[in-house]
Structure 1
């Protein structure tokens, strides 16, 4: 019996190009890294709380290099990969036997999310731990309102659909992880302009990679977007929210 293919929500080519652009933008000295910094800190805190000392680790998507650096300082051999360099999370992974896999900020834009979690589990050693963090449901509420205002009566697909905590927990169970844990936390960031918010999204690999990205905004739509962004703020500053979901589980 043929397996039904997952819906094609995201464009793999656009996704890879976005990650490559992100890596270039991250070379700038003032590049924003608050989301990846938060994820790295969270992984290290979880490992400390669990008193888990992996012998080998795979880090996916950490463009800052901070997690690998911290693990290597503890004597852990680390392999680093990123979708920007051709690593495809929706296909069988070309390695296995890791005690720890940390996936940071990439799994929210794969079409076959259950498949990616299955491949991650197969890449773990028995007793290994997966920690996956990415933006979840409730992220970017201001940007969603701004885009709705910009498109006016003809809304177009512009922001990504996202996974909530309940669905994340069910995903871990469905893909056979033991002792699954799904939780989330938010990070609020203030912006003085819509351009700065868009720039931060691009620099952190969060721009539109939908298979159907929608048409470009015209001058009138951009004006409505700026007005909506300003109206959502106070004192010249608009606060945007990022909901970071973390899913973790063990291979038994």
Structure 2
């Protein structure tokens, strides 16, 4: 059996989360949960059995609402053994929601496949993850600083799932009617060091397995902050940080779902539609 590469140090991530201040302002999770409320409200169906996964189960809501009424969630901490599903209370669910845990999974296709198998027929999988160009400015700033100091590059910012890959991941997991979309946000900070401090306070400091083992030096941080400010500062001196929230949704196959037409079954040809009538 081929093992997936170890990208993230999940034990380190768990330690970072345990050390978070009790009253930390986790605005990213709050933003995602507000968006989740809006998305669930458009679904005109009940979800009797529902579970919500996240890196910190205590930060997840116990209830929400679809267009058909209240949803009660089993809340589960997703930071278990990597490559294995956390302990669920029951074998099947009508709704599985994943909140900001996919971006620290080493084997995303395998993990999604396991979650898909936990869905009841016509059950919904819905996930939010950091994706796209999230923290691209910080990544480029560290690349510039490392290049100037040592002539090389070191992994300091985690890779994120691209929206163009989202639909393929859902299909590979065996989910029907896959949809991937992205919400783009720009967050501003007084300076790059303020951004780095907030990332650390959220328990989201470098989670990579192959990260540099030595702490970043003052010189490196200074060079990164300088490169950041030179390329991504606004006229008022504040710097911009990209935050992209990737949303994925797919359904467990069911006979009631829409099916694509079989090849050759169309009754009208494209040629006849495009041809202009003569005269």
Query: Superposition pairs for residues 140-159 of structure 1, below 5 Å?
Result: 140-151=135-146, 152=148, 153-159=151-157
> Could you state the TM-score of these two structures normalised by the residue count of structure 2?
0.79
Q: Which moved more, 1:189-198 or 1:169-178?
A: 189-198
The aligned residue for residue 70 of structure 1 is 64
Contact 1:182 1:246 in 2 (8 A): yes
The aligned residue for residue 160 of structure 1 is 158
Query: Superposition pairs for residues 204-243 of structure 1, below 5 Å?
Result: 204-214=202-212, 215-231=214-230, 232-234=232-234, 235-243=236-244
**How many residues end up aligned between the 2 structures?**
242
Relative to 1, partners in 2 of residues 1:65 and 1:13: Cα closer, same or farther, differing over 3 Å? closer
**More helix, by proportion:** 1
Larger Rg, first or second structure (1 or 2): 2
The aligned residue for residue 261 of structure 2 is none
**Does the residue aligned with 1:76 lie in a helix, a strand or coil?**
strand
Among candidates 14, 30, 33, match of residue 40 of structure 1 = 33
> Could you state the TM-score of these two structures normalised by the residue count of structure 1?
0.87
Q: How much has 1:32 moved relative to structure 2?
A: 2.8
Contact 1:71 1:78 in 2 (8 A): no
The aligned residue for residue 9 of structure 2 is 11
Taking the aligned partners of 1:203 and 1:213, their CA distance within structure 2 comes to 19
The aligned residue for residue 112 of structure 1 is 107
Contact 2:126 2:248 in 1 (8 A): yes
Q: How much has 1:136 moved relative to structure 2?
A: 1.0
Q: How much has 1:71 moved relative to structure 2?
A: 4.7
- Structure 1, gaps ≥5 residues long: none
Contact 2:113 2:172 in 1 (8 A): no
Task: Give the number of the structure with larger relative contact order, counting CA–CA contacts within 8 Å between residues 6 or more apart.
Answer: 1
RMSD, aligned α-carbons: 2.1
